[in-house]
Chain A
Amino acid sequence: MKSRNLVLMAVFILIAGMTLGAQTSQKPIEIGFWSLFTGGDGAFFDAMVKEFNASQNEIVMKTDTVKFDNYYTKLTAALAAKNAPDVVVMHQDRLSNFVPNGVLLPLDDYIKKAGIDMSTFEQGPVSNCRFDGKLYAIPMDVHPLIMYYNTDLFAKAGIPKAPVSLAELIADAQAIQEKTGAIGIAADNTTATYKAYTLTRMFMSMLKEQGYSTLNANNTKANFNNDAGAKAYQALSDMVNKYKVTPKQLDYDSSVADFKLGKAGIHFNGVWVTGSFEQQAGLNFAAVKFPALFGTNASWSGSHTFAVPVQKTFDEKKVMAVMTFINWMTNHGYLWAKAGHVPTRKTAIDTPEFKSLPHRAGYADAVKYTFASPDTPKWPQCYDAISDSLEESVALNRDAKTALSNMEQVINAILAR
């Protein structure tokens, strides 16, 4: 009795094994993926992944989302244990924390094999993903700092066009306050739910407009305690303290809400709020690249890239599937553009879908003027330190000399370590 059951079981297992074996060769390959997009961004991104999955039968992307705040904690732990998924989203300015440790795969060979034409990408963002000549990530978008303005308030205040210089910016802001009662410039300068990075982004942009990068060439010293830095800082401080066109203690959520509710004329922020502003009934606005306050154009920008973690056992099939995924996502960048971001792939911009999106075309050319953050592993700490320092100095109305030398001291200490 017992032996008969055993034989039956063995036969069953054998058949099951054979059928399963036969089926696995037709089963789609499953790719694990971590995304840091939540909220509005998340909705658009997840929709794209869904469409990718639906568009073909060979690859199934399995997305796990982690809130941005904790994303890198989790990713780092996973990378340390070689437990990370097959492909991850990574900010370009974080790459220098991961690449030198050998936890990301260099992609050049696989790009070639997959036939992805890198010349269809905007070269600036791509070269920012190169380390020692090798490409470690493929940029999907750039999200620069831009300027939004309320067209209704501008009309009411009699301002014919967007400001293109610092003097015009201040004059316009004052006109808005006097003639409409709305806030002149809504740009956050205080940390609450979100850190007040806008100040830093504006500072870095204004510095670059004058030809200076935030840190020196080999990232060993601060590069802003000079005339250019003084002018940039003064502009920021004056907006709040001298001309009073920006309220004090303005945090990110309030700044966005003020513009959204039509209570502010001008708003400085990244492109990512475009989608949210569009959905606001009654808000008529325009979006343009960050103005050339000091003569030339330059805007801080972040960039979301796709990177491939090194696994315990290398599986080329999976890597190639990832390439297919990245190729598709970047080609369909116009879908991502709905979230406000600017696709890095020129072929995605050159589509009727992208061109028909309002506003984005207006700042698509901002891509040409973006610059990468310094590629040192100490950048996250410097970024935070600059942010705290600018926030403090503007709040306490410090003079440029003190503000900059304080900031320089902190940054140099971090870099010297």
Chain B
Amino acid sequence: MQHRNRYVARDIALFSASYLIVYFAFLVFPVIYGIYLSFFDWNILSTKKFIGFKNFVEAFGDPKFLASFAHTCQFVLLSTPTIIIIGFLLALIAVRPTKSGKVAETVFFLPYILSTTVVGTLWAWLFQKNFGLFNQILAQFGLKPIGWLTDPRYAMASIVGATIWWTAGFNMILFSAAIKQIPDEIYDSARMDGAGRFATLTKITIPLLKDTTLLVVILQLIASFKVFGQAYVMTGGGPYATTEVLVQYVYKTGFSYFRLGYASAMSILLFMVILIISGFQFILGKESK
């Protein structure tokens, strides 16, 4: 114990050095550089021009910024509860001690390892209006084709659908791991008290999963706010920009319209939103203990 306490500071430094160097060099520094850039007008190719808070002011008055942010929020609202709930329901299947439980684990998590581009391209093809699989199936039943990605009523939901298929498995794994940890005794005594399946679920299982749920909610919120890749591949932001999310607008602003300062400012606003909302969730979650 003597030995340990004497070298605590040295050990902290030694053990954390390699990680922190990489973290600061390749994550923190670019972000700080980005914050610096947000106060400039810079087209990447020539000199920067300092303009103070003008980029931020412009953002709040930019209808495209507000619209794309609204689309991101729309995606967050549609996807977060659904991917979490579906993940939980899948977990209920996966925790069964039967063979189907094991199969469920494998099948439902499999899509998670595919890349954004693969998922986006695959689902763009499935949803394709004239020749995609889904409409071909509808045609077999004599139904008219649906513009899954070309009809503004369905486009965002279709993107959410693809995202559910892609990522619900991750939440499933987290939930099923937590459920498996609930000791059998609790279920046994509940059964002896005559509790039915539904009651057990709502009064015992779910409350005991509070911590995991909090983690899942925060991770899902963060992921949903950052949405870009699969949406861009599937709809390009269409129809008429109704699925253009904030990260897409930021990306276009920086690289197609050559306004990196403005793009950085918008990214900072997004980052702050994510930070505040995750922070809120975290505090709320901790309070309810």
Contact = CB atoms under 8 A, between A and B. Distances in A.
Touch test A–B (CB under 8 Å): yes
Interface of A: 72-73, 76-77, 79-80, 97-98, 100-103, 190-196, 249-251, 253-254, 257-258, 377-378, 380-381, 384, 388-389, 391-392, 395, 410, 417
Given A192-B129, A251-B150, 19 more contacts: A73-B255, A76-B258, A97-B45, A101-B43, A101-B45, A190-B147, A191-B236, A191-B238, A192-B234, A192-B235, A192-B239, A195-B238, A251-B238, A254-B129, A377-B258, A378-B257, A380-B257, A388-B240, A388-B241
Indicate the member of B46, B233, B252, B257 with the most A CB atoms within 10 Å. B257
B239 A257 contact: no
Indicate the member of B124, B152, B235, B256 with the most A CB atoms within 10 Å. B256
A98 B152 CA distance: 36
Indicate the member of A103, A191, A258, A391 with the most B CB atoms within 10 Å. A191
A190 B256 contact: no
Contact of B239 (A72, A76, A395): A395
B44 interface: yes
B30 to A, nearest CB: 13
Contact of B147 (A80, A194, A249): A249
B43 to A, nearest CB: 7
Contacts of A103: 45
B130 A79 contact: no
Interface string B227-247: 000000111111111000000
Contacts of A100: 46
A101 B239 contact: no
Indicate the member of A192, A194, A195, A196 with the most B CB atoms within 10 Å. A192
B149 interface: yes
Given A101-B45, A249-B151, A257-B131, A192 B238 contact: yes
A388 B236 CA distance: 11
B151 A80 contact: no
A194 B238 CA distance: 9
A250 B130 CA distance: 9
A251 B131 CA distance: 12
B79 interface: no
B236 A391 contact: no
A190 B129 CA distance: 11
Contacts of B128: 192, 253-254
Given A192-B124, A249-B147, A381 B240 contact: no
A307 to B, nearest CB: 13
Main secondary structure on chain B at its contact with chain A?
A: loop
Interface in B235-287: 235-241, 252, 255-258
Contact of B130 (A80, A191, A258, A378): A258
3 A-B pairs closest in CB distance: A191-B238, A101-B45, A392-B240
B51 to A, nearest CB: 12
A380 B256 contact: yes
Nearest to B46: A101
Contacts of A192: 124, 128-129, 149-150, 234-236, 238-239
A99 to B, nearest CB: 10
Interface in B131-155: 131, 147, 149-152
A82 to B, nearest CB: 10
Contact of A381 (B63, B131, B152, B257): B257
Given A249-B129, A249-B151, A384 B256 contact: yes
A193 B236 contact: yes
Interface string B146-187: 010111100000000000000000000000000000000000
B231 to A, nearest CB: 12
A77 B43 CA distance: 11
Contacts of A258: 130
A73 B44 CA distance: 11
A410 B239 CA distance: 18
A73 B254 CA distance: 9
A276 to B, nearest CB: 16
A98 B45 contact: yes
A402 B106 CA distance: 54
Given A249-B150, A249-B151, A380-B256, A257 B238 contact: no
A76 B150 contact: no
A411 to B, nearest CB: 13
Contacts of A72: 255-256
A80 B152 CA distance: 38
B239 A190 contact: yes
B213 to A, nearest CB: 36
A47 to B, nearest CB: 26
